[in-house]
Amino acid sequence: MNAPNNCPKDCQICTAPPSCDASENGVCCIDTYRIFDSCRSQDCIENTLLHFTDVGQQAVNDSISVRTKSVKVLWTRIDTSPTPFNAGYYQVNIRYYFYVLLDCCLGLGNTQEVQGLAIHDKTVILYGGEGNVSSFRSDIRAPLGCARPDCELSVLSNLPRVIVEVADPMALRLEVTDGDFRAGTNGTSIAEGLPPQITDSFNGEFSADCRDEQRNVFITIGAFSIIRIERPSQLVIPACDICIPPSCDRKLESTDPCTMFKALDFPLREFYPSSSPAPAEQQASCPGEKPLDPSDYQ
């Protein structure tokens, strides 16, 4: 008996037809990730200690004033573990590494850019379902010449996958103190060690010396993030046709740069961004008006 092509609204698991042909059945089987749980977070990370390399710390000690130029998330370390006594729930520990670029004024109009590192830990609990199967993939290979069964397993982790999306952070406040370490702040000791993904982005070497004898900088950062937890899943989705990429052999009618530039469409979306993309012919500046024509700007 063939399974139905369309799944009911309250269906959780759908069985695809034996022949998954988009032209005949209008559906297709795909292997993707299903989101089990997600949350959004608006964090104000207050009084976080900035860590500097030996070169940067010397510039901070000699500076007259310090200001923030930019802040970005350099990397995140994500650890996932099952939550005891709560089947299907997982504790997600996230460590954010913020790359802070400062401008240090050294006097007489002389400024120096200094790289700073801020570290923040965050923990959330999300539902990720229960998985009791072992997954094997053919594209995970053991080293050549290794024939023992226990040499390298090609089994994937049974833990769900965690995705962290972070918007560009905002520097809300910067405070410079002399010999004030503030042991109770959000700053994490640099002596715990840094991954190579972090140290390779900085000039100089980080030091774990006592911070009470030098100038310290504390920053308050605002960060928006979305955290989601997902697992592999096989779904049946409507299909129109197979994906055929366009040809790369596009011939230019003219090589004159001005002619090529004038042939481009006016990027209205860059000036008036919208949350839901729509074709240009369906956009209007106000309700009831006609869509804007790029030729009107010529």
Question: Mean pLDDT, to the nearest integer, of 59-69?
Answer: 92
Phi, psi of 270 (to 5 degrees): -70, -30
pLDDT above 50 (res 99): yes
Question: 100 with 71: CB under 8 angstroms?
Answer: yes
140, exposed or middle or buried, with CB in 10 Å at 0-12, 13-18, 19+?
exposed
pLDDT above 70 (res 294): no
Q: What is the pLDDT of residue 193?
A: 75
20, exposed or middle or buried, with CB in 10 Å at 0-12, 13-18, 19+?
middle
Strands 65-82 vs 135-136: parallel, antiparallel or unpaired = unpaired
**pLDDT tens, position by position, 270-290:** 777 665 554 444 444 444 444
How far apart are alpha carbons 177 and 180 in whole angstroms? Answer: 6
Q: Where are the domains of the chain?
A: 36-133+150-232
Rounded to a whole number, what is the largest CA-CA distance in the chain? 85
Q: Which residue has the higher pLDDT, 67 or 130?
A: 67
Question: 224 with 39: CB under 8 angstroms?
Answer: no
Cα R_g (the chain), whole angstroms:
27
Question: Mean pLDDT, to the nearest integer, of 176-193?
Answer: 62
How far apart are alpha carbons 239 and 154 in whole angstroms? Answer: 32
pLDDT range class, residue 3, cuts 50, 70, 90: very low
Residue among 225, 113, 217 nearest 174 (CA):
217
Q: Which residue has the higher pLDDT, 54 or 137?
A: 54
pLDDT range class, residue 141, cuts 50, 70, 90: low
Type of residue numbered 19: S
Q: What is the pLDDT of residue 283?
A: 45
SS3 for 131-160 is CCCCEECCCCCCCCCCCCCCCCCCEECCCC
Helices assigned H by DSSP within 218-286: 257-262, 268-271
Least confident of 10-24, 119-133, 164-178, 216-230: 10-24
pLDDT above 60 (res 292): no
> How much is the pTM?
0.69
pLDDT above 50 (res 73): yes
How far apart are alpha carbons 67 and 149 in whole angstroms? Answer: 58
pLDDT above 90 as % of the chain: 39
Question: Mean pLDDT, to the nearest integer, of 33-46?
Answer: 93
Q: What is the pLDDT of residue 90?
A: 95
pLDDT range class, residue 175, cuts 50, 70, 90: very high
Q: For the stretch 146-158, what's the b/e string if a residue is b when 16 or more beta carbons lie within 10 angstroms of its beta carbon?
A: eeeeeeeeeeeee
